[in-house]
Chain A
Amino acid sequence: MLPRLAQTLAQKIIARAAGRDSVRVGELIVAKVDLAMMHDSGGPRRVAAMLAEIGASVWDRNKVVVVTDHFVPAVDVDSARILKLTRDWVRINQVDRFHDMQGICHVVMTENGHVRPGMFAVGGDSHSPTAGAFGAFMFGVGATEMAGVLATGEIWIKVPETQLIRWQGKLGHALSAKDMILATLKRLKLNTLKYGVAQYCGEAVTALSMSDRMVLTNMAAELGAQTGLIEPDATTFAALKNADVDMQYAPEFHGDPDATFLATWDFDANKLVPQVAAPHSPDNVDDVDRFQNVTIDQAYIGACTGAKLNDLHMAAEVLKGRKVARNIRLLIAPASTRMTAAAAADGTLATLTAAGAILLPSGCGACAGYGAGILAEDEVCISSTARNFKGRMGAASSHVYLGSPYTVAASAVTGRITDPREFIHVFHHAQAVA
C-alpha cells in the first residue's frame, strides 16, 4: 500500500469536492461547487445575459446566495435599474437565499450561516476568502466564470500551495487583527503568496473572535492569495451555532498534522504596535507614529473588512465622551443591518453619533468608490477598509491611509493620524464596551 499523502486543510477540501481521497499540489482538477455567492455588481446584472446566451439555467438554486451591497441604496436610475434586475432575476430563478440591502455580502454570508467548515465555494467578489475564517475554501471569480459555475456546478482549480502565517504572543491594548494583517503585508508584500493559500495560526490568532479572524482571511486577497484559511476550533463552532447552523452540516474538518507547507512566516504579537498603510497600496505599511503629521479630511469606518459589530465597538471605545475634530467628517457604514441593530441595542450607535459620527447605509459605500462618501481631488482619508489603491475611493489625486477602527477613530478626534493607545488605557480596555 502506498503511504498516505498528508494533506493540508486546502487539499482536504479540494479533494472532497473533486470526489478524491487526496490531491497533489499543482494538479489542475475540476471540482464540484458547494456554494456560489454573487452580489449586485458582478452577479445577475452580468450573468443573466450570459446564461441566456448559452441556453443554461441555474444548476442548483439551493446552492446560490445573492446579496445586494455595491449599489445600495440606489443613488441614481442606473443603480436602481441594476438592483431591480437583480431582484427580478432572483425571483424568476427562485433563489431563496437572497439578502436585499441587509449588508455587505461576505458578512451577510456568515451571519446567515451559509458558510460552513470544509465547504468548497466561489464568490463573485475578490474578498470571498473571508469565509476561510470558518475553515471554508472560498475564492473570488469573475462574472463569466460565475456563469460557468451556475451552468455546470463545477470549476477548475490548480491545487494551491499553503503558506503558514503564524502569530505568537498576545495583542496589546488598542491593537486588532487589522494591525496584524497590515504588519503581515508589510513583510510579505502583495505577491509572496502567489495565488496560494494563506493559513493563519498561532496563539494570537486563536485568541481572536470570529469577526477579527475574518479580517485576516478577508485581506488574504491583498496578500495575493487565492484564499485564506484558519483551522476551525471551539470559537468557530460556537459562532456557527450562534448563526443557527444545523451542526449536523458543520463537520470537523482539519488538515493533517504532518502536512507540509511551502513556508512558515513567524510574527510576534507582543511586539506589535498600531500599523498604517500609506497611499497607494495596502503593503505600504509602517508604524502609526511615522504618520503623525498627516492631517486628514475624512475618517471612514466601513467595508466587509472594518465595520462589523466588533469594529464599531473599537471605534466607540475611542470616541466615548470625545468629539470628532472640527472640519473633519467621520463616516460610519456598519457592515450589516443586523449589526446596526445590535449596535443600536447596546448603546454603541449612541456613543458614535454623540461624538459626531455620520451614519451611512449598510453596504460597500465609499470603499470602492461606488457609493456615498467618496473623496474630492487631493483630499486625505483614513479608512478601516482593505484597499487604498489610487483613485479607488474617489478622485485619482485623493489619498487613502488604512488603519484599524481604533486608529481611524483616534485620528477623527485629532484631525491627524493618531496612535489610538493614547486614547485607551489598559484599565479601560479590560472593561471593554458593554
Chain B
Amino acid sequence: MSKTFGKAFVFGDNITTDALAPGAYMKAPLAELAAHCLESIDADFARDMKRGDIVVGGENFGMGSSREQAVMALRELGIGYVIAKSFAGLFFRNCINLGLAPLMCVDAAKINAGDELCCDAGEGSILNKTKNECYACEPIPPHLMAMLNDGGLLSHLVKRRALITTLPSN
C-alpha cells in the first residue's frame, strides 16, 4: 500500500452501490463500468480523478447490493483508499476481499474536497497535509489486516493453501 499523497473526492452519506456500479453497465467490461462510477452524483468524477486519489464518504458508505463491482470500479480507477464515517457491512467486506483499504474515521467530515491526504491502514491514521491535521481510524482487526496485506482474500487463501479444496489431479 502506497504512502503517497492523494487528493480527496468528498461524497455524502449513504452512497449506494448503484451509484458506484450502475446497473446499466453491469454487463460491460470493467473499464467501461468504472468510467460511470459515481456519475449519478458527480458526473465528472471518473474524468477528474487521478490514480492514487482518495474517496471520502459520510455515514453508511457503499450501502445497497452485494455487487463487488462497486469496489472493483474504484480500484480500476486507481483509488487508493476509501475513507468514511461508517461503511455498509457488505461493502466493507468486499473492500477487504479485494484489497482496497476501507478506513473508518469519525473525523471524515473534516476532510474537504481537494485536501491532500496520506493514509496508513496498518497504523490506522490519515494525514491531511492541506489542513495540517491528523485523524485516527478504527483499527482493522489483525485477521482482516492480514488479508488486506496479502492483497485480498484470494491471494490470502493461496498463502494458506491447506484449507482450499483443490482440483482433483488427473
Contact = CB atoms under 8 A, between A and B. Distances in A.
Contacts, number: 141
Contacts of A281: 14
B97 interface: yes
Interface SS of A by simple majority: loop
A140 B90 contact: yes
A299 interface: no
A148 B154 contact: yes
Interface residues of A, number: 54
A28 B35 CA distance: 36
Interface string B16-60: 101100111011000000000001110000000000000000011
Contacts of B66: 42, 123-126, 128, 140-142
B157 A389 contact: no
Interface in A218-258: 224, 226
Residue among A82, A368, A394 facing the most chain B CB atoms (10 A cut-off): A368
Contacts of A58: 165
A386 to B, nearest CB: 10
Nearest to B155: A54
A389 B158 CA distance: 37
B139 to A, nearest CB: 12
Interface in B79-137: 86, 88-90, 92-94, 97-98
Bin the interface of chain B by size: 35 or more
A396 B40 contact: yes
A56 interface: yes
Contact of B164 (A54, A156, A368, A370): A54
A104 interface: no
Interface string A108-148: 00000000000000011110100000000001111111011
Contacts of B152: 144
Contact of A54 (B24, B144, B157): B157
Interface string A137-177: 00111111101100111101010000000000000000000
A41 B16 contact: no
A281 to B, nearest CB: 7
A73 interface: no
B86 A194 contact: yes
A224 B91 CA distance: 11
A390 B89 contact: no
B68 to A, nearest CB: 3
A224 B27 contact: no
16 contacts: A28-B144, A57-B165, A126-B66, A142-B68, A144-B97, A148-B97, A148-B157, A151-B164, A153-B165, A190-B63, A191-B63, A195-B89, A369-B18, A387-B18, A391-B23, A396-B40
Given A142-B97, A147-B153, A148-B97, 13 more contacts: A53-B154, A54-B154, A57-B166, A78-B27, A126-B65, A142-B98, A145-B94, A154-B163, A190-B14, A195-B92, A281-B14, A369-B22, A370-B26
